[in-house]
Every structure is written in structure tokens, then in C-alpha cells.
Structure 1
Amino acid sequence: MATVRDSTFDVLRARGLTTIFGNPGSTEVPFLAGLPEDLRFVLALHEGSAVGMATGWAIGRGRPAFVLLHTTAGLGNAVGALATARVNRAPLVALVGQQDRRHLSFEPFLAGRLAGLAGEYPVWVDQPVAAHDVPGSIARAAHEAETHRGPAIVIVPMDDWAAAALDDREDAAPARVVRAASVAAPAIDELVSFLADARSPAIVVGAGADDPETWAALAGVAERLVAPVYQESFGARAGFPQDHRLYGGVLPADRPRLREKLAPHDALIVVGAPVFRQSPFAPGRLTEPGTRIAVVGDNPDEVHRSPAELAVLGPPEPICRELAEHLPQREGEPPEQFRPPPAPAPPHAGQPLQAGHVLSALAERLAPETVLVEEAPVDRPELHERLLAHKPLGFLSAAMGGLGFALAGATGVRMALPDRPVVAVVGDGSAMYGIQALWSASHYRVGVLFVILSNGGYAIMDRLVERHDAKAPWPSFSVDIAAIGRAQGCRSRSIATYDELVAALDEVMPELATSEEPLLLDVAIAPTERFRP
């Protein structure tokens, strides 16, 4: 007799969900005990790390990932990571264990009120009404996650796995969903008309444009318009090759400087991003009066909240490809290409390293195909200036803004893309939010380079408090991240001088693409004194 568990394993195989990220609990034991050998369980030491690795895996593969969570405690611990997955548009199937169905009405120990625990961040939540509905629910969850680009949750009582499956029944989800990627001619005509009279157009791109086909299509549009291409502020991914001659840099994240930056342009086309992501609030308009804005994207939430004259809801790649073919070639001088600032001179003896020393040293050595995962808030503006994305998925960050993604996310990306070098640049404060991921990276021999910018505190928070002309109530702190890494089996070094930094990078970089062992460099730096996102 086939069980619900057997049928669910068949669903996982059919959907390509054979890698299971998780931190197990007692409600998941009936599902996991005696796991078939063709299904791989990847252990994380915290649910945030499990979801973070699954998120990196899903982003790297461009397909749903599967993560297992333990009832209330597990799902509760994972909510922040699930929010990051949603805003990063990572398709996840999250299976959440529940107490035995036969006594749920008595609310036994470990019973959870789970359906609303993750709030509005899941794209879909299901509690199958009967055990035999579980396989179909998980099959549907894979489609929901991929279509809506976020986590889909299925809550399963622990006794359901041993129940008999219904063999003489249709599957409760289609075997395949083919998503149309064409665009209607009237939409292209609208965009051509919008740009027809523009004297000085510009393009703004975001995470929704980060794939090879959209990069190529956008380059065609930019070259037709002879227009600069700006990266949105606080974007989770790069939407355009940042070594292209028309790349114009990252937009400021406050309204006054954004207005100033965009003032020369009378027409903006925003692709794969909202109009516009900001932090913190400042009064005034986003752009100067009279600036016309069109937005193109396949994320309804971003498109619907964008203050634009024209919005085209659809896949950016075919829209931009068709637009490039229909736009007339503009004449004019190309804008000045964005170029990184010169590297700072090495510090004198006795002087501390600055973030710029580390970022410049990385920039000189990173291969173009490197995936750079960022979670160093106070140093992110300088990182954007010095470390450019040369290939799609060249930059990855947590769009939600919550900390704790980078260590696990980088591990998941490298597991999904073993042929690409992966470097995570993480603040010491940020690292402590997801430090358990180092164990998984070490145990599963995931060759990520973790570069920790250890400034001895929450420098970003210190800079923000200074804007209020007040003193922060929290102390600075010193945590030996390298020691914590070694305690989890991760090869780790403490770096205090410029010579130590370049020697370590020169040693590791040539073999980074093929490395099967993670390395953590805990680099002591002086706190960054200026923050202008």
C-alpha cells in the first residue's frame, strides 16, 4: 500500500525538489526517518539559515527550492527569512510540521496555530483537509511559488505521512505550467510613443531585470536611446551590466539627491524595479515636475504602487527586446561612463584598515563571473562604487533589509552554482544574525569566501543616531568571528594589516571557483564614519 509519504516523495522527484533544507523537529520525524537515498537532506543549525540556504539555492537555479520547518518554533524563527525570500522573489516550497491530527482539537504540546504565523509574506498557505490531499497540495505549492515568486507553505500533521494514499485519483495540480512570455504590439507602441519626444531619456533598472536575456535586451534599448542606465537604490540584484559604457551608477536613496541626479532627464523608463525605492523619508517629490515616468515589470505589487504615467505589466525581456527593435536610433553624445574611484593608498604602519582597502583589494582580484553577496549596511554605498556586477547574478543582497541572509544565502547560491566563485561581504554585526550557516558551509564543503568587515559594533546604527544629534544607548562590541567560524569547522583567519589582507586574497582567489572548502577572513577595520545611501 502506497502511503501519503510515498506519494509526496514522488511529487518531490517530479518537481525537482529532491534537496531538502531544514532543521528537524519531532513533528517532522515521520517524514524524514529512513529518507530515500535519492533525496538529500541539508542540515541547518537554525531555521533562518535553512530558509536562507534554500533562498540562495532557488535564486541560483531559477527554480523552486524545498525547505522543512518545525511547527510553531521553526516557522516563527524563519519568518524574517521567509520575508526576505518573498521580497527577493525566491520561489520556495515550505513544508511545516504540525502535531498529530488525531488530537489537534486538544491543542497538545507542540501544536501550532500556523496558518497566519508568517503574516502576508507567503504567496500561498494550505492546510490540507485530509491526509490524502497532502501530495496534491505540495504539487500545487511548487506552481504557486514559481508563479508568484515567493514562499508557498503547506502545513502537514505528523500522522498524515503514514496514511494511505488514494491511487485511483487524478493529480491535484498540473504536471507542467508553461508561462507565456510574449508581449502585445500595442504595449510596445505605447512605450515607443512615450519615448518619441524625449530630449534626454534615462533608464532605471532593478532586480527584476537580472537575467542574461534581459541584460542583452536592455543594452539594446540603452544603445538606441544613447541613454544612461542607473541601478535602483537598495536593489537586491543588478539589472544591467555595470561595466557597460552606458552604466551610470546606483541612484541615491533619498529624495533630494534623487531629484538632483535625475533632473537632467525628461523621460524615465524603469525596468524591473518600483518607482522608486527610498530610505529614509525626505519631503518633496521623487523627481522634478514635468519628468515623465514609465515602468515595465512583471511584479504586480511593484508596478501597481509606482507613480508612473505609463505602466506595462509583463515580462521585461520580451518587452525590452521588442522595444529595442522598434525604437529609432537617437543621435547625441553618450553620457559619461561610471567608473569606480581610485583605490585608497595602503594604510601607514599602525593605522587601521578601512572598508575601502578591503573592497578595492577584492575589486582587483574578483573574476568577472563572481557572485557577490552583500550584507554590510554601512559600507554598501562604497561597495556599489568599487565592486561592479559584470555578469547576471553578479550582485545579491537581501531586498527586505533584514539581516541574517548573507552567510546562508551565499552558501545556497554556491551549492546551486558550483562552477561560479561566490564571495560574501558581511559586517560583523550582520554575521551574528546568521552565524550558524558557517557549520553547514563547512560540513557540506561549500567553497564560499566569507569576508567579514569587523568594525566592532553596529556602525550603521551609530551613523543613523548621529543624524538625531543624540547618543546611542547601545555599546560597541568585539566578537571574535574567526573563532566562532573555527568552532563550527570553518577554516578562518583573523586579518589586521594590509599585507595580511592581500596575501590571503592572493592565496585564495586563483582557486576560488573550484574550492570545496569555505574560508572566512575576519578583517578588522575602522568604523566607517560617513553613510550616504
Structure 2
Amino acid sequence: MPETTVRDAALDLLRELGMTTVFSNPGSTEIDLLAGLPDDVRFMLGLHEGSVVGMATGHALGTGRPALAVLHTTAGLGNAVGAIATARVNRAPVVVIVGQQDSRHLVNEPFLVGRLNGLAGEYPVWCGQPGSAADVPSLLLRATNEAMLHRGPAVLVVPTDYWSAPWPDGRELASPRRLTVATGVRAAEVEDYVDVLGAAASPVIVVGADADSAATWDAVGRLAEALGCAVWQEPFGARAGFRQDDPRFAGHLPAHRRQLRATLDPHDVVVVVGAPSLRQYLFDEGPLFSPGTRVLSLVVDPTEATVSTAEQLVLGSLAPACTALADRVRAVRAAPTPPGRPPQRRPRPPGPTRFDADGVLRELARRLPEDAVVVEECPSDRHRLLEALPARRPGGFFSAAMGGLGFAMPAAAGLRLAQPDRPVVAVVGDGSSMYAIQSLWSAQHYGIGVLYVVLANGGYAIMDQLAAPHGRAPWPRHLGLDISSMARGLGCRAERVSTTAELAASMDDLIPGLRAAEAPVLIEAVLDDGAHEGAKTE
């Protein structure tokens, strides 16, 4: 009988865990793991490590289970740090295996040796290095558990010679094969909230990314009905915490303290569900909430509990907590009057000849099915996208919680792999697309049917806006990019449109077949110059 190797034991474990898709940009230190993979393990090549981890992040977000990325020593991990940071803030469980040089001559610091400890900073939720080859499967299992428990990327560094080492017969795994976190919430645990909400004159709910599930959407709706109140989405929410075409949905909170206070000032009690804090963008003076406003919070993640500004906080599963709270509030509070839909910002109508982002997003909104997944990375037009494309199903909206660029294009491919029955559309700026343009090759090569819509304003519009009060920006106003040509060079079908008629014809051709699409398509919408004058970031 052939000897069982550490690699054999690791592959068996990955099968058991359901982690048989490997996203990678490999090098020599990963050959012993990846060469000759068995047929039941799917290998997905990315042409840059940021795209590798980005695809894995999208896959993990789409499945709710850990995804596996394999990177090449210092260069691979270094190139992926930004994407690892995004995975951390997006709460995506990603296991990252990083190859290291052969352990037998690490002491001599050979070519390609990696000084990998701490290279990704504090962004991994866990980092490990096996003391011996036989430790690899145990630490791989631990990395998976850590990624799920702490909802973020876990990094495991493995010397290349460890994979071919013998696996000791009967060696135990020093981490649970099945880890379940039971975080239910009983009515007694929200009783303090009932007293406050029972006496509230004008309560309101704010939802965050962690509320993005069918059960929590339903429970938040029940709570809003019991309170007779509106529901706002947190600023810069990376996922939708409530159905955004519901009459109770008020919109997206501003990311500036003064505007936030003014928006929430009519309410004496704010219930925050699934948001660690109401994250801001540019600094503004003053507190988040006006004096006298009582803030109650429900969170699911222990790390989020420590950064909340809430007066009271309950840690546990959001849907049971909201349901228990709704049932108790209904019993002690007078029958509420359902609120009317608050005033909504609407995209401005296009001029007679203007081809702008509003028009592109309207054309897209007219055609997308209700269960479509929209992945956003268009900073200067994010507020327009949120207005035009409300999330109507759980898991219908994703963006980079970290704020860094390069997430949307690879993440959209990973999401489509995870949920092949849902249409996936990535809406990105032309500047944003350059941070992960090479991910189109992976989508094309592996037949991943994502529609990429590029809002091409010709420059860094968001940076131009930020720089305007300070003087002339030192970067070029027009970058002269031709994204569709680059996409075609990577093998991806691409169309370049500059009028509403051309865009409509292209979308009419593509979107009806998007659910069954087996190849990516990119539409580059070349916007009229000046289309972003007066744009806002939120």
C-alpha cells in the first residue's frame, strides 16, 4: 500500500469540510500541494493575488462557508494583504494557505524564503505555522474553525516539503471536526429593551450588514411593525440589512456626523441591528447622536460589541433577538400607526443629450430580476446606485466594507460560483476596474457568467471631488482608459456604448439570459464629460 502523506490527509479533510474549490496564484512553494490534484478538487487560477483572495471572499460570502485560497510565499501574501483586509472587514471566512520554502534549509535563508510572520498585520483573525509536517492537517482544521468562529481570513504558512511527508497512522486532529456556535436569545435577555421601547415616543431602527438574511429581514420587519417605525440602513453598509423597496425603508444614513444627527434627531430611541457602529467617512465634529437619544444595539459578533457607542447591547443571534423583542413590545405598547414612506432621494432626470450614471443605472434597474445580486465599486456614483437598485432579496447587495478598491470584480465571480442560480452584476467605475481587471481572465476561462457594467467617467471622479476645495489636483483629469479593449484582450466579450439607445440594446440582449450565462460580459458605458459635477459620496 502506498504511504499516506500529509497532503493526502489534508485533501481528505478538505473534502470533509466541503472546501474542494481552490483559488490560487501559485509558485514553486505550492507545487507539492497543487500539482496532480484529484478530479474532485476544482482549481481556479487568478492572475493576481488580490483577485485570488477577492474570488475566495465572494465565494465565502455567497455560501456562508469557508473558502480556500493558496498564495505564494512573500510576494503572494504581500500582494493579497489589501484583499485580506477587505475579507476581514466584510466578515468573510477565508482560509489562506501560504507556501514557504523547504524547511530543511530555512536556516540558510534560501531564495524565495518568506518572512511571513505578521506580513498581513492584524487583519487575519488567526495565523499559524506547523511545528512539524504532522501538524498541518490539525492546523488546517483549526484555521477553518477560526475563520468561521471569527468570520474572517485565517492564514496558515506551510513549508513545501511538509506536504509529501508521511502522515502518521491514527494521528488525531487537534481541533473540532464540527464547531457549532449556539447564540440564541430569549425574551428575558431583551427585557431591558422592552421597557425603553414601550415608553418611546418616536423609535427608529437602523440595520447593518449582519442583518442580511431572510430570517433577520423578516424579524426586523416584525419589530418595525410592532414599533410603528421606519428602518434605515447604516452608512457604507456592505450588505443590505432590510428589503429596500419596503414602505418602511427610509434610506441610507449619511456618513457625516452632523447630517447623521439631523437625520436621527426626531427619534428618542434608536435600535441598531447588526451594525458595529455607524461608520463615518470624512471627520466631522460632535457626537454621533444628539444628547438624550437612547441607543440600543443587537449584534452577533463579540468584536462588534466592543466598538459600539450604544448605551445597552445584547450579543446573540439577530433574528431570535428581534423576534423576541417584537413579541414583547407588541404586548406592552399601544397599537402603532404604520409610518408613511419617508422622502426618498431620487436620481436626477437626464438632460436631453446627457448620458450619465443615473441613466445607466435606470436602464439596469428596469431589467434586473428581483433576485439579482449587485456588487458595487463605483465610489462617485454609489449613492446613485443605492437609489436606483434597492436590494429586494437577502444577499442582493455587496460592496467592500473596507473601502479599498479591487473587490467587486473578483468577488462577483466568486459569488456567481457560490450561487449559480442567481444573476450577478458588478457595477464598477473605470478607475476601480483597473485594480482587478485581470480577474476577467478567470471569469472567462472558467465560464463564470457575470455581467460587468463599467461607469466610465474618464478619471478619478471621486478624488477630483475631494480635492476641489483644496486646489488643483496633481493627477490627470482624463486617464484615457479603454476598459472594453482591455477586457477583450483578456478573452472577455466586451461592448462599448455611449448613448442610451446603445446601452438599452446591449442590456436587452444580455440580461434576459444572465441567469443561465456561462461566460462573462463587460459593458463599458462611456459617460458624458461633466456627468459627475456635484456628485456626493453618500
Q: TM-score, normalised by structure 2?
A: 0.96
Deviation for aligned residue 1:226: 0.8
Residue 331 of structure 1 deviates from its aligned partner by 3.5
Q: Are 1:275 and 1:295, in contact at CA under 8 Å, matched by a contact in 2? A: no
* Contact 1:346/1:498 (8 A) holds in 2: no
CA distance in 2, matches of 1:341, 1:125: 45
8 A contact 1:347–1:498 mirrored in 2: no
Q: Which residue of 2 aligns with 1:472?
A: 473
Corresponding residue SS for 2:229: coil
Q: Which residue of 1 aligns with 2:437?
A: 435
Between Structure 1 and Structure 2, how many residues are aligned? 530
Shift of residue 203, structure 1, vs aligned partner: 0.3
2:215 corresponds in structure 1 to 213
What's the secondary structure of 1:145's corresponding residue? helix
Map Cα deviations across residues 405-441 of structure 1 (whole Å, 9 max, x no partner). Answer: 0000001000110000001100000000000110011
How far apart are the structure 2 equivalents of 1:316 and 1:53? 27
2 CA distance for matches of 1:171 and 1:96? Answer: 20
Query: Do the aligned partners of residues 391 and 400 (structure 1) sit closer, same or farther apart at CA in structure 2, a change above 3 Å counting?
Result: same
Aligned to 1:249: 251
Aligned to 2:532: 528
Structure 2: distance between partners of 1:497 and 1:217: 43
CA deviation after TM superposition for structure 1 residue 333, in Å: 3.5
Of the three residues 461, 464, 473, the one matched with 1:462 is: 464
- C-alpha distance in 2 between matches for 1:42 and 1:147: 26
Which amino acid in the other structure matches residue 337 of structure 2?
Answer: E
Task: Give me the whole-angstrom Cα distance separating, in 2, the residues matched to 1:21 and 1:41.
Answer: 6
| Residues 1:132 and 2:134 are matched in the alignment | yes
Deviation at 1:340, TM superposition (A): 5.8
Q: Which residue does the alignment assign to 2:28?
A: 26
Change (3 A) 1:344 1:290: closer
Q: Provide the residue aligned with 1:141 in structure 2.
A: 143
Equivalent residue, structure 2, for 1:156: 158
The answer to whether the 8 A contact 1:340-1:386 is kept is: no
Partner in structure 1 of residue 341 of structure 2: 337
Contact preservation (8 Å) 1:5, 1:31: yes
Aligned partners of 1:343 and 1:367: how far apart in 2? Answer: 20
Mapped partners of 1:332, 1:220: distance in 2: 12
Distance in 2 (alpha carbons) for counterparts of 1:343 and 1:255: 24
Which range moved further: 386-395 or 326-335? 326-335
* Match status 1:362 vs 2:364: yes
RMSD of Structure 2 on Structure 1 (CA): 1.3
What is the alpha-carbon distance in structure 2 between the residues aligned to residue 340 and residue 509 of structure 1? 27
SS where residue 69 of structure 2 aligns? strand
1: CA distance between counterparts of 2:128 and 2:241? Answer: 34
**Structure 1 position 66 matched with structure 2 position 68:** yes
Is residue 427–residue 452 contact of structure 2 (8 Å, CA) maintained in 1? yes
The answer (yes or no) to whether the contact 2:382–2:537 under 8 Å persists in 1 is no
- Aligned with 1:356: secondary structure? helix
Give the distance between the partners of 2:255 and 2:241, measured in 1 at CA.
Answer: 17
Q: Give the CA deviation at 1:185.
A: 3.7
Question: Given residue 289 of structure 1, which amino acid in structure 2 is its aligned partner?
Answer: P
Partner amino acid for 1:523? A
CA distance in 1, matches of 2:126, 2:74: 18
Superposed displacement of residue 186, structure 1: 3.0
Alignment of 1:82-481 (within 5 A): 82-328=84-330, 329-338=333-342, 345=349, 347-348=351-352, 351-468=353-470, 470-476=471-477, 477-481=479-483
Separation in structure 1 between the aligned mates of residue 344 and residue 480 of structure 2, nearest angstrom: 31
SS of alignment partner, residue 327 of structure 1: helix
Deviations 1:331-359 (CA, angstroms, capped at 9, x unpaired): 343333257656655553xx341110011
Distance 1:88 1:139 in 2: 22
5+ residue gaps in structure 1?
none
Deviations 1:339-389 (A, max 9, x none): 7656655553xx341110011111111111000000000100111111100
Runs of 4+ in 1 over 4 A off after TM superposition: 338-347
Worse overlay, 20-29 or 500-509: 500-509
1: CA distance, partners of 2:343 / 2:449: 30
> Which amino acid in the other structure matches residue 339 of structure 2?
P
Q: What residue identity is the alignment partner of 1:471?
A: R
Consecutive unaligned residues in structure 2, runs of 5 or more? none
SS of equivalent residue, structure 1 residue 119: coil
Give the C-alpha shift of residue 180 in structure 1.
0.7
Residue 184 (structure 1) shift: 3.9
Deviation of the 1:181 alpha carbon: 3.2
1:299, CA displacement in angstroms?
2.0
Cα separation, 1, equivalents of 2:37 and 2:405:
33
| SS of aligned partner of 2:320 | helix
Quick one: distance in 1 between partners of 2:56 and 2:419? 13
**Contact in 1 for aligned 2:203/2:267 (Cα 8 Å):** yes
CA–CA separation in structure 1 for the residues paired with 2:307 and 2:288: 14
Identify which range, 505-514 or 489-498, moves more after superposition: 505-514
The alpha-carbon distance between structure 1 residues 342 and 258, as it changes in their structure 2 partners (threshold 3 A), is closer
Shift of residue 209 of structure 1?
0.4
Q: Structure 1 residues 181, 274: closer, same or farther in 2, change over 3 A?
A: closer
